[in-house]
A = this chain, B = another copy of it.
């Protein structure tokens, strides 16, 4: 859990308990793999946003905790499926499910966690909006992942293509997390839509920052090897910018489009991108999304949670991991 979330420590603990309980199964391999994922930690950003959103109306633990757990389960399911795809062997500094149990188990554990999230969702049958938002979000998340794969090594993608992709892949679930806690606790449209837009904007900033960190972070802090996107041919914002502006464009294209790169080639590509000013440019874009997120907060009642959400918005850009 992040230090930032200290004021909802007990609520987040309740989410943690809910998560651990729902993955209990008589077959050990199911509980073991799921618990491995839970123990790997993570920021719990999505459940925290769900809990915070609910603070803007009649906060009710019973109504909001299962939903917060649902958000984390959907997120975890997408991470596990992502690991199948990426051939990643570490995430958050620990071995992935794929690394320990293999591709086959990962694929089905992802589906298992997603299906478990539906079990929790059945408690919200009298609030159809929750189901509608999450089913649409899930479709778009898969779309985002598939578009990312099909556009890998493609140097002709635009910044607009990139932004659409990260919206699907990341921002929509964060938007839903911020929105739906409030919906579950009976908030009006003005409140939950402002929260949704706040979530969407920090989600965009979050993913852009993620993509920058993949180029400039310390492996120790990031918990996974640096330059991973470049290795896999995933073209992120800094690279798209560099392709438009750098002096060594020809060499950069050569390096990016090479399917098997050695470490020297990855590092050379990273250097060209960094020297183009792409990192500053990308941080600026992320910062603009943070600003937009904060504008949305102004539409919400002035309770202490509003300030925490402002700090959370700053955190997504300032973090080192």
* Chain A residues at the B interface, C-beta cutoff of 8 Å: 25, 27, 29-30, 33, 77-78, 81, 84-86, 102-105, 107-112, 114-116, 118-119, 121-122, 125, 128, 131-132, 134-136, 138-139, 141-143, 145-147, 149-150
Is the CB–CB distance between B143 and A112 below 8 Å?
Answer: yes
Minimal Cβ-Cβ distance residue in B for A152: B104
User: In the complex, A136 Cα to B147 Cα: how many Å?
Assistant: 30
Is the CB–CB distance between A143 and B81 below 8 Å?
Answer: no
Q: Within the oligomer, what is the number of copies of this chain?
A: 2
Given contacts A85-B104, A85-B108, is CB(A131)–CB(B142) below 8 Å? no
What residues of chain B lie closer than 8 Å to A116, measured between beta carbons?
Answer: 139
Majority DSSP secondary structure for residues of A touching B:
helix
Minimal Cβ-Cβ distance residue in B for A147: B27
Is the CB–CB distance between B29 and A146 below 8 Å?
Answer: yes
Given contacts A27-B143, A103-B103, is CB(A135)–CB(B118) below 8 Å? yes
User: In the complex, A57 Cα to B110 Cα: how many Å?
Assistant: 37
User: In the complex, A169 Cα to B136 Cα: how many Å?
Assistant: 26
Minimal Cβ-Cβ distance residue in B for A28: B150
Given contacts A122-B128, A135-B115, A135-B119, is CB(A84)–CB(B104) below 8 Å? yes
Is the CB–CB distance between B122 and A138 below 8 Å?
Answer: no
Is the CB–CB distance between B84 and A29 below 8 Å?
Answer: no
Is the CB–CB distance between B128 and A107 below 8 Å?
Answer: no
Given contacts A84-B103, A85-B103, A135-B119, is CB(A145)–CB(B110) below 8 Å? no
Is the CB–CB distance between B150 and A122 below 8 Å?
Answer: no
Is the CB–CB distance between B111 and A135 below 8 Å?
Answer: no
Is the CB–CB distance between A115 and B103 below 8 Å?
Answer: no
Is the CB–CB distance between A115 and B142 below 8 Å?
Answer: yes
Is the CB–CB distance between A146 and B84 below 8 Å?
Answer: no
Partner of A30, one of B114, B118, B134, B146: B146
Is the CB–CB distance between A142 and B84 below 8 Å?
Answer: no
